[in-house]
């Protein structure tokens, strides 16, 4: 099946600054593609070109939405959350729905469906200025999905949300992808998107760092780290100091943070632990996407401490 969005060799410069440097990627139906990178990486510049707010200096953006009126098939949550403060939630939903071709009744029905999901049903008649930042953001999210878009573009959808609301937002985004929506989201909070995205495009200073599915990225770059608590600290310390499975470690009293060498799998580490060691706790995980980014984009060294 044709991708819903194709970005081909897109370049955008602001005077001398190349904000987006010949970037190419695709977003397919039913997948969540994360555009990740630190502040200033070029994420919003890319999104604005996709939304036709700015034009690329070079390259092409193609939308495959089977319509001349592409905006009726796209939902967009912009980075700046600009709902009119004096307007009521209800009127915002009706107005933004009407821009996407919905009748008043349809917009209200869909809007109420989404407000219910975010526990905001009682706020339908509130003015935006009466809502918290996170509540207003959920209303804006509702407004960008109520016309059932085929392509959803979310610029920093988790910023300003508390952890419970972030989880709720993640679940709704996953649900939309499962129903077939192509979703592209940008974020600088790499830990948050790890659990949501199928594929990742890592961007740094306008340049591609990595573009692959999350598992492949983690298989390729993701060393394992272990967190371990033991009553046999001396035994473990001696073992760690002479073991070539270990890249580095740090410890505090009986707690150890251990970074395994490239390609060392958890089984190998566990099988090699000193015989009879008394373990109180053991956790083994891959390093985070943030650490992979630090390593690949910045040539940073991995250190056991920063991975915990």
Ligand X SMILES: Nc1ncnc2c1ncn2[C@@H]1O[C@H](COP(=O)(O)OP(=O)(O)OP(=O)(O)O)[C@@H](O)[C@H]1O
Rule CB under 6 A: which residues touch ligand X? Answer: 14, 17, 19, 37, 39-45, 188
The smaller minimum CB distance to ligand X, of residues 273 and 289, is found at 289
Q: How far is the CB of 221 from ligand X (least distance, A)?
A: 21
The smaller minimum CB distance to ligand X, of residues 14 and 113, is found at 14
Parallel/antiparallel/unpaired status of strands 74-77 and 151-155: parallel
The structure tokens listed for 187 are 């974020």
The structure tokens listed for 81 are 């959350």
Interacting residues of 114 by C-beta distance below 8 A, sequence separation 6+: 141, 142, 145, 146
**Dihedral (C-alpha) 256, 222, 184, 104: value to the nearest 10 degrees?**
-30
Q: How far is the CB of 186 from ligand X (least distance, A)?
A: 7
> At 130, is the secondary structure helix, strand, or coil?
helix
The smaller minimum CB distance to ligand X, of residues 93 and 183, is found at 183
The smaller minimum CB distance to ligand X, of residues 39 and 234, is found at 39
The smaller minimum CB distance to ligand X, of residues 14 and 84, is found at 14
Q: In what order do the strands lie in the sheet with 255-260?
A: 246-252, 255-260, 224-230, 279-286
Burial degree of 181 (CB within 10 A; 0-12, 13-18, 19+): buried
Helix (H) or strand (E) holding 185: strand 182-187
């Amino acid at each position: 099946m044709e991708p819903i969005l194709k970005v081909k060799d897109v370049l955008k410069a602001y005077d001398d600054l190349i904000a987006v440097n010949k970037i190419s990627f695709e977003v397919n139906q039913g997948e969540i593609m994360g555009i990740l990178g630190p502040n200033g990486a070029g994420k919003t510049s890319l999104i604005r070109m996709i939304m036709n707010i700015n034009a690329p200096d070079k390259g092409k953006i193609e939308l495959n939405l089977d319509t001349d009126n592409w905006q009726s098939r796209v939902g967009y949550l912009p980075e700046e959350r600009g709902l009119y403060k004096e307007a009521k939630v209800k009127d915002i939903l009706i107005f933004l729905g009407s821009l996407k071709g919905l009748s008043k009744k349809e917009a209200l029905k869909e809007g109420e469906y989404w407000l219910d999901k975010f526990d905001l049903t009682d706020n339908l008649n509130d003015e935006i200025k009466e809502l918290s930042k996170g509540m207003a953001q959920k209303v804006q999210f509702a407004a960008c999905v109520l016309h059932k878009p085929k392509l959803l573009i979310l610029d920093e959808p988790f910023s300003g949300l508390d952890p419970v609301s972030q989880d709720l937002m993640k679940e709704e985004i996953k649900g939309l992808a499962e129903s077939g929506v192509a979703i592209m989201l940008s974020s600088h909070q790499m830990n948050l998107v790890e659990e949501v995205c199928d594929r990742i495009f890592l961007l740094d200073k306008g340049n591609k760092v990595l573009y692959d599915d999350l598992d492949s990225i983690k298989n390729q770059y993701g060393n394992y780290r272990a967190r371990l608590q033991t009553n046999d600290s001396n035994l473990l310390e001696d073992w760690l100091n002479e073991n070539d499975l270990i890249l580095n470690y740090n410890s505090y009293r009986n707690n150890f943070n251990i970074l395994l060498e490239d390609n060392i799998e958890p089984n190998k580490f566990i099988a090699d632990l000193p015989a009879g060691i008394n373990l109180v706790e053991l956790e083994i995980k891959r390093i985070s996407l943030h650490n992979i980014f630090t390593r690949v984009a910045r040539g940073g060294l991995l250190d056991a401490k920063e991975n915990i």
